[in-house]
Amino acid sequence: MKDAIKHYCEGYLRIQLKGFSPERFLNLCMSRQIVIWDLCYQDSGYQFLISIKDYRRVRPLVKKAQVRLKILGRFGLPFFLYRNRRRKLYAAGVISFFLVLFCMSQFIWDISIEGNYRFTDDTLIHYLDTRGIRYGQLRSGIDCDVLEENIRSDYPEIIWVSARISGTRLMIKVKENEVIGSIPQKDSSPRNLVAEKSGTITRMVVRRGKALVRVGDSVEEGEILVRGMVPIYNDAEELVREQPVRADADIYAVTSEGYQEKIPLLALSRAETGKKRQGVRLRFGGFSFLWILPAWGENPWAMTSKSTQAAILGDFYLPLWVDRISAREYQVYEHFLTKEELEQKSNEIHQKKMENLKQKGVQILENSVKILEEDSGWTVRGEFLLEEKIGIGSPFAAESVPETEAAQQTDPSMPE
């Protein structure tokens, strides 16, 4: 690519080579480091491309090898300017084009953010907008060092920021803190553990509190599993008081869960008719121009677009967006579900329920699904046999403290 640009700027020629010893001429060019390219044999001779500077150096070699050179074409910027030397308006247009590009290069037309996970691009771009940094902002009005400091101070979760301007693009790279900034306060208020669902206890580990159930017991929803009161006895094994604690345990039980969903008899389907339309929308700043063939017929059209921002040489972005629009005509019709479609829909419903349970960390022991036919459609009923944690906290009020502890608090003669 660089060589092609260099050859175009310097100008080059297409040469036809004929004579007594063309091979010797090529060898002489190679020994003197004269560059030729696109060499081919055509019309009883050789043809190749050579730059203007190297063409002036081959004159002594022509006599030495007894060959003839004929210029077949002249290419490049010097010849282009010579042919159009009298077209003043053309030259003015070219100069104006590069002048406009130079003016546009003084503004920011694209902002890219990398490394952000907790904060979305929209959040950070909105923050930049509050700081006066937006699309169309002068490059000279952006201080990258100040911007980096502001982001770090306003977002403590971001520990590293790099901002730089490349072309007409503002590039921001951030690194977020993966460690929790502050230790959450642990709740130590007294509570019981109660059953969230009905089931049969399969395993349990009690860390704090008094267990009221054992493995193999059947429990009902709302039943107390671990009591948040620990009895304290004296040396004579007499109950002195009960200390309220925050019950903590892992209690697993076999539970059952079901669902029921309706599937109508009729389903809406979409079928493309084969008619297509293509269009282009140009957006320049706040202006836009849309060109697309008009729609015909009464059927709806599904439209999709792919947007591309114009750029020159990598990071030199322009405030011009090109949207390629594609439209397809389709028809919507109702039809009765076939047996295969009904099974597919029921399987999709069942699989979705299973995925939701797995995301909650629930172990599925057994599952089943049935399809029942009704007058208005079908009903999908599913059953799951699960093993899951069923203990949830249930705080109790201060007045629920047993009388033994109240007596202990009021009677100083009570032994500790």
Q: Is residue 309 part of a domain?
A: yes
The pLDDT tens digits of the residues spanning 137-174 come to: 898 889 999 999 999 999 988 889 999 998 889 999 99
Q: How far apart are CA 162 and CA 147, in angstroms?
A: 9
Q: Is residue 256 part of a domain?
A: no
Q: How many independent structural domains does the chain possess?
A: 4
Residue 2, helix vs strand vs coil: helix
What is the pLDDT, as a whole number, of residue 338? 86
Q: Which helix (H) or strand (E) holds 185?
A: none
Q: How far apart are CA 11 and CA 5, in angstroms?
A: 10
| Domain match, 315 and 356 both | no
| Domain match, 325 and 350 both | no
CA 114 to chain centre: 11
Q: Is residue 102 part of a domain?
A: no
Q: Is residue 237 part of a domain?
A: no
| Domain match, 325 and 351 both | no
Q: Is residue 378 part of a domain?
A: yes
What is the pLDDT, as a whole number, of residue 414? 36
| Domain match, 73 and 7 both | yes
Cβ–Cβ < 8 Å for 275, 293: no
Q: Is residue 196 part of a domain?
A: no
Q: Is residue 358 part of a domain?
A: yes
pTM of the model: 0.53
In this prediction, residues 281-291 reach a mean pLDDT of 86
| Domain match, 344 and 311 both | no
Calculate what percentage of the chain has a pLDDT beyond 90. 36
Where residue 406 falls among pLDDT bands split at 50, 70, 90?
Answer: very low
For 358, the domain range is 337-386
Q: Is residue 190 part of a domain?
A: no
Q: How far apart are CA 193 and CA 326, in angstroms?
A: 59
Q: How far apart are CA 241 and CA 264, in angstroms?
A: 62
Q: How far apart are CA 64 and CA 337, in angstroms?
A: 89
Burial status of residue 165 (CB atoms within 10 A of its CB: 0-12, 13-18, 19 or more):
middle
| Domain match, 365 and 328 both | no
Q: Regarding predicted confidence, which is higher, 178 or 64?
A: 64
Which CATH number goes with the domain that contains 68?
Answer: 3.30.70.2280
What is the pLDDT, as a whole number, of residue 411? 41
| Domain match, 272 and 316 both | yes
Cβ–Cβ < 8 Å for 329, 303: no
The pLDDT tens digits of the residues spanning 344-393 come to: 999 999 999 999 999 888 999 999 999 888 878 889 999 999 999 999 99
* End-to-end C-alpha distance for the chain, whole angstroms: 90
| Domain match, 9 and 61 both | yes
Mean residue pLDDT across the chain: 86
Burial status of residue 204 (CB atoms within 10 A of its CB: 0-12, 13-18, 19 or more):
buried
Burial status of residue 86 (CB atoms within 10 A of its CB: 0-12, 13-18, 19 or more):
exposed
Q: Which amino acid is at 372?
A: L
| Domain match, 44 and 18 both | yes
CA distances from 92 to 83, 85, 369 (A): 15, 11, 77
Q: How far apart are CA 41 and CA 20, in angstroms?
A: 15
| Domain match, 273 and 320 both | yes
CA 100 to chain centre: 34
